[in-house]
C-alpha cells in the first residue's frame, strides 16, 4: 500500500522557520457594496473566482443541444485554434488540466530514467510531478529576488550531460527572462517547456508566454485567468510535438488501424462542454488581463508606502498579468509577520493564500533534494502571500483590503 512521506521532527525543525502556519479560518463578514457597483452583499472576498460573463452559457447550450458533449465536437478545435492564436502559437492541444499539459508536452521527448529536467524550486507541485511522471529527475534552481522567477545563472550551473530540458515557470503571471534562457538551451541542445499555467496573456518583450519555448502548458482550473472548470492546453509551433501530443492525449490510437498502439498513451482529453466554456473565456482574455493589471496598479498605489510591505515588481521587458497579486511582509519593518497579518484579514472576511512551499521542502521530494537550500525561495515561502486577485474584484474591495493592511500595521501606530 502507498504510504505517505513524513518528515521527522528534526527535519521539520529546519523548515519551521519559514513554512507557513495552517490557513486561518475566514470569518463571515457582511459588507455593503457601494450603490454604483453591482448591488450584492458579500460575506467573504475570495482569493479568486471565475468571471463567467460572456458566451459561456450560450456555447454550452449549443454543445448540449447538438449532442456533442464528450471529447469530439467543434468547440474543442475552435478553442484550440483561438487559444493558440491568442498565445501567438501555431498549435494548441487541449487536455484535461495543466498538470497533464506539462506531462504531455514533456512526454513527447521520450525521457529516460537518468534524464534531468531543470525546474525552479519555487513552483506548484505539478511542475515537479510532471517531470516525475516522465520517469526523469527534476533538478532545482533558486529564484532571482526581483521578480521571483527562475534564476538563469543557476540554470547554467546545473546543466549536466544528462540534462534534457528546462522548465521555466512564469510565476504568478510574470514572465521569466526568456532570452538568456533560450540562448543557454540552444547552446546545450536542450528543450524548453514553459509552465505557463499562471500566465495567460502575459508578454515577454512583446511576445506572448506560451510561444517562447519549444512548447508550453497552460491550466484552465477555476482560479486561472481563463477557465474551463478543469482543463489545460499545450501550445507549440513545433509540428512534431503537436502531432505526438494530440496522439498521446487520446491513448495513442494508431492511424493504421483502430485499437493499435505504438506508444503508452493517456486519456488526457478535454470535453466539448469544457471547450465551449473555454472558447467563451478566450474571447474575453484581453479584457481579463486589463482588469488584473488595473487591479494591481490600484493595489500598488495603496500599499507602496506601508513599511515592510513589498509590492510585486514588473521587469522592463515584462507584461505581468498578475494571475495572483502577491506581496511580501517584512516582519521587522511591518511589525507583524505574514501569518499574523493573514489572520487579521481572515477575521475581516478576506481570504488570502500563502506563497508556494518550495519543492526541496516537500515531504515527497525530501530525499531527492536532501540538504539542498535555496534562500530566495525560502524567503518567498516565509514572507509571501497573495491577496484577492479575481478579474471581477471591485475597487471598493481593494480599498477595504488595503485599508485593513494599513490600519493593522504596528509600525504606523
Ligand atoms: C505553476 C503551475 N503549474 C501547473 C499547475 C497545474 O495545473 P492544474 O491544476 O490545472 O493541473 C498549476 C496549477 O495551479 C500551476 O500553478
In this predicted model, what pLDDT tens digit does every residue of 299-323 receive, in sequence order? Answer: 999 999 999 999 999 999 999 999 9
Region 404-412 average pLDDT: 96
Q: Answer yes or no: are the C-beta atoms of 272 and 70 closer than 8 Å.
A: yes
φ, ψ at 235 (rounded to 5°): -120, 145
Distance 33 CA to ligand 1 centre (A): 32
Cβ–ligand 1 distance for 138 under 6 Å, the answer no
Does the pLDDT at position 39 exceed 60?
no
Cβ–ligand 1 distance for 219 under 6 Å, the answer yes
Distance 195 CA to ligand 1 centre (A): 8
Cβ–ligand 1 distance for 127 under 6 Å, the answer yes
Nearest to 139 by CA among 189, 190, 186: 190
CA distances from 347 to 46, 330, 408 (A): 13, 21, 12
The proportion of the chain whose per-residue pLDDT surpasses 70, expressed as a percent, equals 97
Atom of ligand 1 nearest to the CA of 123: 1
Q: Which three cell numbers mark 105?
A: 508536452
Fold of 56-282: 3.40.640
Cβ–ligand 1 distance for 221 under 6 Å, the answer yes
Residue 251 has what pLDDT?
98
Atom of ligand 1 nearest to the CA of 170: 1
Confidence of residue 29 (pLDDT cuts 50, 70, 90): confident
User: What are the residues facing 91 on neighbouring strands?
Assistant: 236
Sign of the Cα torsion 232, 237, 241, 246 reads: positive
Confidence of residue 399 (pLDDT cuts 50, 70, 90): very high
Cβ–ligand 1 distance for 124 under 6 Å, the answer yes
Distance 355 CA to ligand 1 centre (A): 14
Cβ–ligand 1 distance for 213 under 6 Å, the answer no
Mean of all residue pLDDT scores within the chain: 96
The residue whose CB lies within 8 Å of the most ligand 1 atoms, and thus the one to mutate among 197, 231, 358, is: 197
Q: Which three cell numbers mark 143?
A: 529564484
pLDDT tens digit string along 160-186?
Answer: 999 999 999 999 999 999 999 999 999
- State the span(s) of the chain assigned CATH 3.40.640.10: 56-282
Sign of the Cα torsion 303, 307, 310, 315 reads: positive
The residue whose CB lies within 8 Å of the most ligand 1 atoms, and thus the one to mutate among 97, 98, 323, is: 98
Distance 124 CA to ligand 1 centre (A): 6
The residue whose CB lies within 8 Å of the most ligand 1 atoms, and thus the one to mutate among 101, 198, 268, 389, is: 198
Does the pLDDT at position 30 exceed 80?
no
Does the pLDDT at position 374 exceed 70?
yes
Region 140-159 average pLDDT: 98
For the domain bounded by 9-49+285-412, which CATH number is listed?
3.90.1150.10
Angle, to 10 degrees, between the axis of helix 56-65 and the axis of helix 74-87? 150
Residue 35 has what pLDDT?
57
The residue whose CB lies within 8 Å of the most ligand 1 atoms, and thus the one to mutate among 122, 126, 199, is: 126
Distance 119 CA to ligand 1 centre (A): 14
Residue 41 has what pLDDT?
59
Provide CB contacts within 8 A for 54, sequence distance 6+: 280, 281, 283, 284
Region 256-279 average pLDDT: 97
Residue 31 has what pLDDT?
73
Distance 99 CA to ligand 1 centre (A): 6
Whole-number Å distance between alpha carbons of 300 and 365: 36
C-beta atoms surrounding 179 within 10 Å: 12
Nearest to 277 by CA among 50, 48, 49, 46: 50
φ, ψ at 91 (rounded to 5°): -125, 145
Residue 33 has what pLDDT?
62
The proportion of the chain whose per-residue pLDDT surpasses 90, expressed as a percent, equals 92
Residue 13 has what pLDDT?
86
Torsion, Cα 52 356 379 362, to 10 degrees, reads: 180
Beta strand 325-329 with 318-319 is unpaired
Residue 40 has what pLDDT?
56
Q: Answer yes or no: are the C-beta atoms of 214 and 182 closer than 8 Å.
A: no
Atom of ligand 1 nearest to the CA of 102: 4
Residue 173 has what pLDDT?
98
Of 8-17, 89-98, 329-338, 360-369, the one with minimum mean pLDDT is 8-17
Amino acid at each position: 500500500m502507498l504510504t505517505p512521506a513524513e518528515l521527522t521532527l528534526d527535519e521539520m525543525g529546519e523548515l519551521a522557520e519559514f513554512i507557513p502556519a495552517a490557513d486561518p479560518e475566514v470569518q463571515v463578514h457582511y459588507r455593503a457594496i457601494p450603490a454604483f457597483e453591482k448591488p450584492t452583499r458579500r460575506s467573504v472576498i475570495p482569493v479568486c473566482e471565475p468571471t463567467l460573463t460572456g458566451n459561456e452559457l450560450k456555447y454550452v447550450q449549443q454543445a448540449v443541444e447538438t449532442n456533442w458533449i464528450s471529447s469530439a465536437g467543434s468547440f474543442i478545435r475552435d478553442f484550440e485554434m483561438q487559444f493558440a492564436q491568442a498565445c501567438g502559437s501555431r498549435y494548441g492541444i487541449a487536455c484535461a488540466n495543466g498538470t497533464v499539459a506539462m506531462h504531455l508536452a514533456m512526454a513527447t521527448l521520450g525521457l529516460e530514467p537518468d534524464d534531468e529536467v531543470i525546474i525552479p524550486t519555487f513552483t506548484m507541485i505539478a511542475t515537479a510531478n510532471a517531470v516525475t511522471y516522465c520517469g526523469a529527475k527534476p533538478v532545482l534552481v533558486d529564484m532571482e529576488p526581483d521578480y521571483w522567477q527562475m534564476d538563469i545563472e543557476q540554470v547554467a550551473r546545473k546543466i549536466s550531460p544528462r540534462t534534457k530540458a528546462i522548465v521555466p515557470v512564469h510565476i504568478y503571471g510574470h514572465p521569466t527572462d526568456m532570452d538568456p534562457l533560450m540562448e543557454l538551451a540552444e547552446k546545450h541542445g536542450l528543450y524548453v517547456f514553459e509552465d505557463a499555467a499562471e500566465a495567460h496573456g502575459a508578454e515577454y518583450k512583446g511576445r506572448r508566454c506560451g510561444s517562447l519555448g519549444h512548447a508550453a502548458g497552460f491550466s484552465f482550473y477555476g482560479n486561472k485567468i481563463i477557465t474551463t472548470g478543469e482543463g489545460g492546453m499545450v501550445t507549440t509551433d513545433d509540428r512534431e510535438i503537436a502531432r505526438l501530443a494530440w496522439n498521446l492525449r487520446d491513448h495513442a490510437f494508431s492511424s493504421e488501424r483502430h485499437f493499435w498502439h505504438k506508444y503508452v498513451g493517456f486519456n488526457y482529453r478535454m470535453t466539448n462542454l469544457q471547450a465551449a466554456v473555454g472558447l467563451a473565456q478566450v474571447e474575453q482574455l484581453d479584457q481579463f488581463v486589463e482588469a488584473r493589471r488595473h487591479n494591481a496598479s490600484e493595489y500598488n498605489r495603496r500599499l507602496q508606502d506601508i513599511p515592510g510591505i513589498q509590492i510585486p515588481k514588473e521587469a522592463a521587458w515584462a507584461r505581468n498579468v498578475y494571475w495572483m497579486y502577491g506581496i511580501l511582509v517584512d516582519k521587522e519593518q511591518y511589525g507583524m509577520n505574514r501569518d499574523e497579518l493573514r489572520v487579521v484579514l481572515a477575521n475581516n472576511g478576506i481570504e488570502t493564500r500563502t506563497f508556494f512551499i518550495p519543492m526541496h521542502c516537500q515531504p515527497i521530494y525530501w530525499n531527492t533534494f536532501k540538504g539542498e537550500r535555496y534562500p530566495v525561495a525560502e524567503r518567498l515561502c516565509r514572507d509571501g502571500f497573495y491577496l484577492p486577485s479575481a478579474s471581477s474584484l471591485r475597487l471598493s474591495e481593494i480599498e477595504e483590503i488595503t485599508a485593513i493592511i494599513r490600519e493593522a500595521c504596528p509600525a504606523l501606530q
